[in-house]
């Protein structure tokens, strides 16, 4: 199965040593993995600091069936405002109707890459 890179997003993380999050997003419906664009055509990602509620990333991505299939991989790297952990919320849409969502709290490990999997569910 292809694991295409959806994007590289820069987050604002505190401290000297930089860490990163490799986020894998899976999307499964009643008949198996969701297909782009038949079952899902957009993915919204919201990354925030849980301690302050500050939004670090709020972006919608139109999914291209030629370049993106599930699972999707998203690499997030740190900057200067993230803190020790982030909350990642992902919501999938088809023609502006939600088809699944998931959320995860991720601790930031300086100088390490944290592997995280989110499974979109209806």
In this structure, the number of other CB atoms found within 10 A of the CB of residue 118 comes to: 23
Q: What digits encode the pLDDT tens for the residues 74-117?
A: 888 877 777 789 999 999 999 999 999 999 999 988 888 999 99
Can you say how many angstroms the Cα of residue 66 is from the centroid of all Cα atoms in its chain? 19
- 3-class DSSP assignment, residue 87: strand
pTM of the entire predicted model: 0.81
In this structure, the number of other CB atoms found within 10 A of the CB of residue 72 comes to: 26
Q: Which structural domain, as residue segments, surrounds residue 23?
A: 5-120
C-beta of residue 104 within 8 angstroms of C-beta of residue 118: yes
Q: What digits encode the pLDDT tens for the residues 34-68?
A: 999 999 999 999 999 999 999 999 999 999 988 88
C-beta of residue 90 within 8 angstroms of C-beta of residue 102: yes
CATH number at residue 108: 2.60.40.10
C-beta of residue 95 within 8 angstroms of C-beta of residue 48: no
The whole-number pLDDT of residue 22 equals 92
- pLDDT confidence bin for 2, thresholds 50/70/90: very low
- pLDDT confidence bin for 17, thresholds 50/70/90: low
The whole-number pLDDT of residue 20 equals 86
C-beta of residue 108 within 8 angstroms of C-beta of residue 82: yes
For residues 58 and 35, give the distance between their C-alpha atoms in angstroms, rounded to a whole number: 23
How many structural domains are present in the chain? 1
Of the chain, the percentage scoring pLDDT greater than 70 comes to 85
């Amino acid at each position: 199965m292809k694991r295409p890179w959806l994007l590289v997003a820069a987050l604002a993380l505190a401290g000297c040593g930089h860490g990163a999050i490799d986020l894998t997003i899976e999307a499964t419906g009643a008949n198996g993995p969701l297909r782009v664009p038949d079952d899902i055509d957009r993915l919204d990602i919201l990354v925030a600091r849980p301690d302050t509620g500050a939004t670090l990333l709020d972006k919608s991505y139109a999914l291209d069936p030629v370049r993106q299939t599930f699972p999707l991989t998203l690499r997030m790297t740190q900057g200067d405002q993230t803190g020790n952990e982030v909350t990642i919320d992902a919501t999938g849409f088809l023609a502006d109707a939600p088809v699944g969502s998931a959320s995860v709290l991720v601790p930031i490990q300086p100088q390490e890459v944290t592997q995280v999997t989110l499974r979109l569910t209806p």
